[in-house]
Amino acid sequence: MVWIFLGPPGAGKGTQAVLLAEHLGIPHVSTGELLRRAMRNGTELGKKAKSYMDAGDLVPDPLILELVREVLAGAKGCILDGFPRNIAQADVLGAILKGVGLSLTGVLRLDVPDEMLVARIAGRAREESRADDSEATVRNRLKVYAEQTAPLVEYYRRAGKLVDVNGEGSIREIQTRIREIAAEAAGGTKE
């Protein structure tokens, strides 16, 4: 069982992905966490990624995809959080999944109105004393997200894999919706 979580900044995809992974007993895969772990462990990929990150550059797709391939090899499934981020990554991910004997169960897109996202992130910024989450910055991040993921959303919609999830409500309410979708996909075996 492989699920992808998509959603704009502040939608709660990280929180919801972790909860579903724990519920299903499969790993939660965040590419950011994979990079940090590879760097901490001093792996060859970690060293390469660190050189890009230390220079302030984005880690190139081939390195990210190799990290994902390593995690998926031998796995019975996972929750991919915020990955893939573009059509090229989605195409390669499909080949990786096929190569390790897995298939994509579905793509859960958390749907939250922009005004609610701005309020959530502003609240988080106050709690964490983060100056980089001003309203203008958040609105720009939402614009960039929409531009970059619109093709990916359409890609998975055409493939019949995209499921929109109402991302409004409490963490528990949203998780209940997600678990119902997962149970339906699994034939009702994991409620």
Q: Which domain holds residue 94?
A: 2-185
- Select the more confidently predicted residue: 92 or 122: 92
User: Cα–Cα distance between 179 and 189 in angstroms, integer?
Assistant: 11
Among 47, 98, 130, 190, the active-site one is 130
Is residue 191 a part of any domain in this protein?
no
Among 36, 85, 161, 179, the active-site one is 85
User: Cα–Cα distance between 35 and 124 in angstroms, integer?
Assistant: 24
Confidence of residue 46 (pLDDT cuts 50, 70, 90): confident
Tell me, yes or no, if 130 is annotated catalytic. yes
Residue 157, pLDDT above cutoff 90 = yes
Tell me, yes or no, if 141 is annotated catalytic. yes
Model confidence pLDDT, tens digit, residues 165-179: 999 999 999 999 999
Identify the CATH number of the domain in which residue 32 sits. 3.40.50.300
Average pLDDT, integer, range 185-189:
70
Among 124, 161, 177, 179, the active-site one is 124
Starting at the earlier edge strand, list the strands of the sheet with 104-111.
28-30, 78-81, 2-6, 104-111, 162-166
Tell me, yes or no, if 157 is annotated catalytic. no
CB of 52 within 8 A of CB of 59? yes
Is residue 75 a part of any domain in this protein?
yes
Model confidence pLDDT, tens digit, residues 66-115: 888 888 888 899 999 978 988 999 999 999 999 999 999 999 999 999 88
